[in-house]
Each structure stands twice: as structure tokens, then as C-alpha cells.
């Protein structure tokens, strides 16, 4: 018996088990779990079609032109982020552009799909040390069927030039290279179909993040989890970086929102970030009390949640994906609401496996280092 996820036609049939005369596939949706029984020939046909579609896309002239544009942008420094600097960047890319007045974004479109935008800084932005522009963004809108393979290809193109990302995370799935002058992020949003490459001035970006975390009472972290790849390797790219701590949830509705957003991203985004992120283990406890209330993990190949039911520990395994994360979230919420009177009674710890370090996981409850 052979077990697989992606290699056995994973996109269509989910997690699958191959037997001599039948392939059993398991997929989940928001409200159901589907069991597929298909012939090996049909499964192979679906796998071949999927691989052929991916190959045709990544080898297409339009995609190769996009990858070439990415390479050019990564090697072009915006320097002081002035209009003259932006003109030089657009000239290096080779796309013409027009600006209607001195306060507008600079924008250029190639083949109707890729849009390069230099986003103008406002007067408010300038207090954080932005120049005339705050972001250089290359956006490509893609069909749902190719967004994941496109992201893998874009991520690989960036890594060839920049090396291992400083950190990866979500939502949406992103990989970030933090450099002294510029911070580069490549991300994808499967719901909108947007594939983005963004370049921002490092100091201004982090000045702004610090300001809103310290002074905005409504602030919530946009990035709900981040992982440091190759954690044992000595690198200086995270020196003096600002780590925002998330506010604690004051009520169950806020806690549920935090939990839903984080788990949804771990289920949907973590598989797209392999090999830089492969799994996150989490444990939630309640005070007073001993042991866990709910625990589990999210990984690139499968996810698990463990809860207590009628005095017994019940383990549930799921294939990766957003639908599975929804079921894990629902079971976890149910367990937490039953175990505590308020979110303030909850504690958690979490960690990444392999040679990876979990930089942060924002769940809206207090983090503890106790793993005993």
C-alpha cells in the first residue's frame, strides 16, 4: 500500500492510499468529508493532467517573463525612494508608465496581468521615515488552479537570488527576506488569486509597526504566525527586529477570531511554504488544572487535534488544507469553552519542528514556556 498526498493526485483526491486495484482518496470540505474510490488508471490520468497543466504554466512565455521581472526587481535598489529612483526601477524592468500628477502612484502594466506599482507615501507615512514612496509592488492575478504552483515557482526564484528567507508565515502565505535597507516579501492569497512581490524600506516599515502596536488600541497582528527556517545557522538578518506581542483576548468572541484566523492560515498556508516551514505543534491548557485541554499540530502532509471526550483522549487526523483547519478550530473552540470560564484562564505553548524556530503564534491567550 502506498500513501501520498501531492504525488498521488493530491489536488483532486486529497490524501490517498494506493492498492493494486483501487485508490482510496480522502478530501474534506467545510461541511463534509468525502471518500473517493477510483481506479489506479483514473488516478494516474488525473495526476498526469495536473502535472502537465503545471508544466505548461511554469514554462509559458508569460510566466517566464514574470520570473525575469522578479529577478530584475530583486537586484534593483530603490535607494532613497524618490521619483528619480522609481523611474530608474521602471526603466530597469522595461515597462513604460505614466503619472497623472506628483501625488499619484507610479504604475505600469504588462500583458494585462502583471502590474508594477510604486505606492506613494502620505504625509502621515513620512513620520516613520518613508521617502516619497512606501512600497514597490509587483502583482499578478492568477486563476485558482495555478496559484499554488505559481507561488512555489516565485518563491524558488526569490530564493535563488536571496537565499533562505528570514522568516515565513501567514496569513496569507508569505516569505520575507529582511535586509538592512529593504525588506522583500513574496505572498499569495488563494481567495483573491493575487501573487504579490513587495519591496519596502526596512526601518520605515518597522517604525510603523512599532507605532501602531504601542499606540493603537484596536491593533491586531496581520501576521498570525512566523517561522524562522534553518534556525541553527548563524545569520544576522534578524538583529534588532521588532517582535510585536499580540493583545490578550478580553472575551470569547475575540479569542474565537484569533484562533480561527491562526488555525485557518496554518492549515491553508503552511503546506505552500515547504521546505521552509513543515509543522507547528500547539498545546492549550486551562488554569486551574493539569494537562491539556486541546492540542495538536499542523503539518505539510496532515494535521491532528486531540481533545477529551467522556474521560478519554480522542485523536482526529485530517489531510492538510483550509477545510480540515475549520474542523480542528471548531473542536478546539468547543473544548476551550467547556474548560474555562474566560479566555484569561487559558495558556498555550507551541513550537516548530525540524531545524525551524517558531518566532510567534498569535492566539489571543497567554504564552507559557512550560512544556512539562
pTM of the complete model: 0.86
- The alpha carbons of the chain give a radius of gyration, in whole angstroms, of 22
The answer to whether residues 301 and 353 touch, using CB atoms and an 8 Å cutoff, is no
Residue-wise pLDDT tens digits, 248-285: 999 999 999 999 999 999 999 999 999 999 999 999 99
Per-residue b/e over 76-97, b at no fewer than 16 CB within 10 Å? bebeebeeebbeebbeebebeb
* Domain locations along the chain: 2-58, 61-219, 226-234+241-367
Lowest mean pLDDT among 29-33, 60-64, 221-225, 321-325: 29-33
Span 112-123, pLDDT tens digits: 578 899 999 999
The predicted model gives 334-341 an average pLDDT of 96
Residue 33: Cβ-neighbour burial (10 angstroms; 0-12, 13-18, 19+): middle
Residues 174-228 have pLDDT tens digits of 999 999 999 999 999 998 999 999 999 999 999 999 999 999 888 888 899 999 9
φ/ψ (deg, to 5) at 283: -140, 130
- Mean pLDDT score of the chain, rounded to an integer? 87
Amino acid at each position: 500500500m502506498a500513501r501520498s498526498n501531492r504525488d498521488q493526485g493530491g489536488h483532486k483526491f486529497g490524501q490517498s492510499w494506493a492498492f493494486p486495484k483501487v485508490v482510496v482518496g480522502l478530501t474534506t470540505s467545510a461541511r463534509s468529508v468525502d471518500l473517493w474510490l477510483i481506479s489506479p488508471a483514473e488516478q494516474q490520468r488525473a495526476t498526469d493532467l495536473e502535472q502537465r497543466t503545471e508544466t505548461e504554466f511554469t514554462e509559458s512565455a508569460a510566466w517566464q517573463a514574470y520570473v525575469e521581472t522578479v529577478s530584475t526587481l530583486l537586484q534593483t535598489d530603490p535607494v532613497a525612494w524618490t521619483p528619480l529612483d522609481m523611474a530608474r526601477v521602471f526603466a530597469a524592468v522595461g515597462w513604460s508608465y505614466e503619472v497623472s500628477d506628483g501625488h499619484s502612484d507610479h504604475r505600469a502594466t504588462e500583458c494585462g496581468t502583471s502590474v508594477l506599482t510604486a505606492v506613494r507615501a502620505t504625509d502621515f507615512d513620512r513620520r516613520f521615515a518613508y521617502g516619497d514612496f512606501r512600497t514597490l509592488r509587483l502583482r499578478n492575478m492568477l486563476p485558482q488552479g495555478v496559484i499554488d504552483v505559481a507561488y512555489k515557482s516565485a518563491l524558488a526564484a526569490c530564493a535563488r537570488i536571496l537565499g533562505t528567507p528570514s522568516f515565513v508565515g501567514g496569513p496569507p502565505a508569505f516569505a520575507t527576506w529582511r535586509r538592512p535597507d529593504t525588506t522583500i516579501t513574496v505572498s499569495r492569497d488563494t481567495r483573491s488569486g493575487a501573487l504579490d512581490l513587495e519591496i519596502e524600506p526596512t526601518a520605515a516599515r518597522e517604525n510603523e509597526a512599532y507605532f501602531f502596536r504601542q499606540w493603537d488600541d484596536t491593533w491586531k497582528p496581520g501576521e498570525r504566525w512566523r517561522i524562522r527556517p534553518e534556525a541553527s545557522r548563524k545569520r544576522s538578518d534578524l538583529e534588532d527586529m521588532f517582535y510585536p506581542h499580540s493583545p490578550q483576548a478580553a472575551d470569547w468572541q475575540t479569542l474565537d477570531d484569533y484562533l480561527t484566523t491562526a488555525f485557518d492560515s496554518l492549515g491553508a498556508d503552511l503546506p505552500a511554504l515547504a521546505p521552509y516551514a513543515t509543522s507547528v505543534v500547539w498545546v492549550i491548557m486551562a488554569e486551574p488544572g493539569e494537562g491539556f485541554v486541546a492540542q495538536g499540530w499542523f503539518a505539510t502532509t496532515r494535521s491532528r487535534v486531540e481533545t477529551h471526550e467522556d474521560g478519554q483522549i480522542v485523536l482526529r487526523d485530517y489531510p492538510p488544507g483550509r477545510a480540515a483547519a475549520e474542523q480542528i478550530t471548531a473542536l478546539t473552540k468547543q473544548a476551550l469553552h467547556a474548560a474555562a470560564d474566560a479566555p484569561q484562564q487559558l495558556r498555550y505553548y507551541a513550537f516548530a519542528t525540524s531545524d525551524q524556530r517558531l518566532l510567534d503564534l498569535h492566539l489571543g491567550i497567554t504564552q507559557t514556556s512550560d512544556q512539562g
